[in-house]
């Protein structure tokens, strides 16, 4: 069945229009999470590979690997969240959750603290 977003002739088309928009919004959110995960992985690689001095190389590598792992988990959590939201949208029973955001925000805050500590150690 082909659904046109401009059709508004009856209630069924309006419901289909809302459904399509919800799915597209879910996809845009998923892609944003993917971009954030890729950027986090890239940051981890840079931190791991470009330690400033020989004395801080180990610390830089450990923090970089940790950041890459967080970026990888971010990708997996994004996929999990996308799939669950797809199911909820299809069933018409969407309940927003904040567990993924809490976990990822806490991880990114920890990364920021580690990077600040690293910068102070390399002054």
**Look-up of token digits 């001095």:** 53
Cβ contact 89:26 at 8 Å: yes
- Whether pLDDT at 3 is above 60: no
Distance CA 117, CA 123 (A): 10
Number of domains in the chain: 1
Residue 113 domain-assigned? yes
- Whether pLDDT at 2 is above 80: no
What would the pLDDT profile of 10-36 be if each residue is shown by its tens digit? 555 555 566 788 888 999 999 999 999
Residue 5 domain-assigned? no
Range of the domain at 26: 11-121
Residue 60 domain-assigned? yes
């Amino acid at each position: 069945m082909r659904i046109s977003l401009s059709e508004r002739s009856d209630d069924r088309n309006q419901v289909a229009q809302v459904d399509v928009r919800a799915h597209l919004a879910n996809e845009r959110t998923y892609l944003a999470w993917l971009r954030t995960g890729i950027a986090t992985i890239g940051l981890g690689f840079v931190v791991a590979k470009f330690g400033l001095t020989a004395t801080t190389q180990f610390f830089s590598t450990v923090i970089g690997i940790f950041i890459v792992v967080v970026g990888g988990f971010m990708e997996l959590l994004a996929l999990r969240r996308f799939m669950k939201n797809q199911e909820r949208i299809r069933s018409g029973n969407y309940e927003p959750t904040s567990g993924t955001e809490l976990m990822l925000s806490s991880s990114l805050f920890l990364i920021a603290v580690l990077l600040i500590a690293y910068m102070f150690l390399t002054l």
